[in-house]
């Protein structure tokens, strides 16, 4: 935060001095102004990005209509609720699965998936350390052990060879996070999972509308999980949905999201689960938002791919690496700098880009998940971690390392992508990256 604050202050100061210069007679200004040290905007040069990033409203008449219909109902409970039915129906249109359960968050969706997969005491689940902490909360609540694997240098998704190295007799599942909406190598992960009899869960929270070799994300693994949190492509404030076509897991999703009781065929509480239900008002907004999804996904895919196309030749930049037959939906765009090819560090590069008018920030999460205090202290349950105290795991997060992950977090720069941006703005961002990269080229 403070880094960003100081950057915007500096931008403000730079902007103010430009105004002062404009007020002076041009000839006098040229004589008195110090010669800028470069043509970078941060040194007083002209900005590379000449158009605003663009803004727009994320909801409107469609949501209002659904909410009004919802208010005519006498029950706002999800089970048999018309808004929930509509939301699930629309979800299945773009993510064709046999079973789907709406729920209160993406974190809930993943917890439901993990519970339905039968993951419990001391089981190991291999996943990504660069993700939202919601990816692993359900694993830990089931008293299972997250095992963090390394990631691809430009995809930021699971490195399949490293996943394989981390498989032990205790491994039960893999949670593949499609980070930023870039599909994981699902064919390789599915083949690996099948070979070792593991369950493949897809964390699609950042990947609404993404496609893996033409197949909708969430349909290749055994269970797919989505978030409708406010920052995601589509939202109802907070919400989630979990889907599966697998007869072993699909029929269990409902009860693991609803206190362990099966509403389809009541048999008492034969499972233990918490309450992760989504109510009708949220489902009304979620159903409306899905009518916008394809346009949002298509636009973001186009803008992100355009940025790659325009910066791919820069020797000091590693662009976001997407398989040519996949559709990435860019929750954000992330590129890396090659520090050895530049005379500046990531912080200077980022500040220079901000001054050029590009909406960027350094890195993503501050540390890999295993670096967070709660992992370093193994303090998950009132400061303790039962599975470790019981001798069911030797996991020590304070000694855990994923070298590529740590390099990614140290050298990456995140560029905002959203559906309201114009191609012209993205071309400006590409020009800014080129200008800054060339200026600092080693
Ligand atoms: C947002 C997110 C989650 C958690 O979703 P919530 O709805 O915030 O609980 C999980 N995984 C990833 C990759 C996310 O981006």
> Crossing angle of helices 423-439/346-356, nearest 10°?
140
What's the maximum distance between 2 C-alpha atoms anywhere in the chain?
87
Which is the closest atom of ligand 1 to the Cα of 231?
1
Cα(314) to centroid of ligand 1, in Å?
33
350-355 average pLDDT score: 98
Which of the listed residues 130, 135, 226 should we mutate to test ligand 1's pocket, taking the one with most ligand atoms within 8 A of CB?
Answer: 135
Lining residues, ligand 1, CB within 6 Å: 105-107, 131-132, 134-135, 177, 203, 205-206, 227, 229, 240
Q: Do domains 41-54+293-365+406-439 and 61-291 have the same CATH topology?
A: no
Q: Kindly tell me if the per-residue pLDDT of 367 is higher than 50.
A: yes
**Cα–Cα distance list, 290 to 91, 95, 233, 295, 299 (Å):** 7, 11, 10, 10, 15
Q: Strand, coil or helix: what is 137?
A: helix
pLDDT tens track for 137-173: 999 999 999 999 999 999 999 999 999 999 999 999 9
pLDDT tens track for 414-424: 999 999 999 99
> How do 240-244 and 317-318 pair as beta strands?
unpaired
CATH assignment, 41-54+293-365+406-439: 3.90.1150.10
| Range name among 32-46, 65-79, 294-308, 354-368 with the lowest pLDDT average | 32-46
Q: Kindly tell me if the per-residue pLDDT of 5 is higher than 50.
A: no
Query: Which among 342, 383, 424, 441 is positioned nearest to 54, based on CA atoms?
Result: 424
Cα(126) to centroid of ligand 1, in Å?
17
Indicate the CATH number of 61-291 among 3.40.640.10, 3.40.50.150, 3.40.50.1370, 3.20.20.70.
3.40.640.10
Cα(25) to centroid of ligand 1, in Å?
55
CA angle 316, 318, 320 (to 5 degrees): 150
Burial group, residue 409, by CB count within 10 angstroms (0-12, 13-18, 19+): buried
Please say whether the beta carbons of 128 and 149 come within 8 A.
yes
For residue 26, what pLDDT is reported? 44
> Containing H/E element for 175?
strand 171-177
Q: Kindly tell me if the per-residue pLDDT of 2 is higher than 80.
A: no
Q: Strand, coil or helix: what is 130?
A: coil
**Cα–Cα distance list, 1 to 7, 8, 132, 331, 361 (Å):** 10, 11, 19, 21, 10
User: What are 311's two structure tokens?
Assistant: 């910066």
pTM (predicted TM-score): 0.92
Question: Is 232 an annotated catalytic residue?
Answer: yes
Q: How far is CA 132 from the centre of its chain?
A: 7
Please say whether the beta carbons of 100 and 88 come within 8 A.
yes
176: β partners? 202
Of 47, 172, 190, 232, the active-site residue reads 232
Cα(138) to centroid of ligand 1, in Å?
12
Domain layout of the chain by residue ranges: 41-54+293-365+406-439, 61-291
């Amino acid at each position: 935060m403070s880094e960003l604050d100081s950057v915007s202050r500096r931008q403000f100061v730079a902007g103010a001095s430009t105004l002062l210069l404009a007020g002076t007679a041009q000839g006098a200004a040229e004589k008195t102004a110090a010669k800028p040290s470069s043509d970078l905007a941060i040194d007083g040069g002209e900005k590379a990005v000449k158009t605003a990033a663009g803004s727009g409203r994320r909801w409107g008449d469609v949501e209002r209509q659904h909410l009004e219909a919802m208010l005519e109902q006498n029950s706002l409970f999800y089970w048999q609720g018309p808004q929930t039915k509509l939301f699930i129906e629309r979800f299945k249109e773009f993510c064709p699965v046999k079973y789907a359960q709406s729920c209160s968050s993406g974190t809930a969706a993943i917890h439901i998936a993990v519970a339905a997969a039968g993951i419990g005491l001391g089981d190991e689940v291999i996943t990504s350390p660069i993700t939202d902490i919601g990816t692993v909360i359900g694993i830990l609540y089931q008293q299972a052990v997250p095992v963090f694997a390394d990631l691809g240098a430009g995809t930021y998704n699971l490195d399949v060879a490293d996943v394989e190295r981390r498989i032990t007799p205790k491994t039960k599942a893999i949670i593949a996070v499609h980070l930023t909406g870039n599909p994981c190598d699902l064919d390789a992960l599915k083949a690996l999972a099948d070979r070792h009899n593991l369950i493949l869960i897809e964390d699609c929270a950042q990947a609404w509308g993404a496609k893996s070799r033409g197949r909708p994300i969430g349909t290749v693994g055994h269970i797919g999980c989505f978030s409708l949190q406010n920052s995601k492509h589509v939202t109802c404030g907070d919400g989630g949905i979990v889907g599966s076509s697998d007869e072993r897991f699909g029929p269990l999703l409902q009860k693991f999201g609803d206190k362990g009781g099966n509403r389809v065929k009541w048999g008492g509480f034969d499972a233990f689960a918490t309450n992760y239900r989504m109510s009708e008002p949220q489902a009304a907004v979620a159903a409306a938002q899905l009518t916008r999804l394809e346009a949002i996904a298509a636009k973001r895919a186009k803008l992100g791919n355009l940025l790659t196309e325009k910066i791919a030749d820069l020797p000091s930049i590693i662009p976001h690496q997407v398989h040519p037959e996949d559709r990435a939906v860019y929750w954000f765009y992330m590129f890396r700098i090659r520090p050895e090819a530049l005379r500046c560090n990531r912080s200077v590069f980022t500040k220079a880009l901000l001054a050029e008018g590009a909406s960027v920030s350094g890195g993503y999460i501050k540390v890999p998940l295993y670096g967070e205090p709660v992992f370093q202290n193994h303090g998950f349950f009132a400061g303790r971690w039962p599975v470790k105290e019981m001798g069911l795991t030797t996991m020590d997060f304070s000694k855990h390392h994923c070298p590529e992950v740590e390099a990614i977090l140290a050298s990456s720069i995140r560029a905002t992508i959203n559906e309201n941006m114009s191609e012209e703005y993205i071309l400006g961002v590409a020009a800014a990256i080129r200008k800054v990269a060339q200026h600092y080229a080693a």
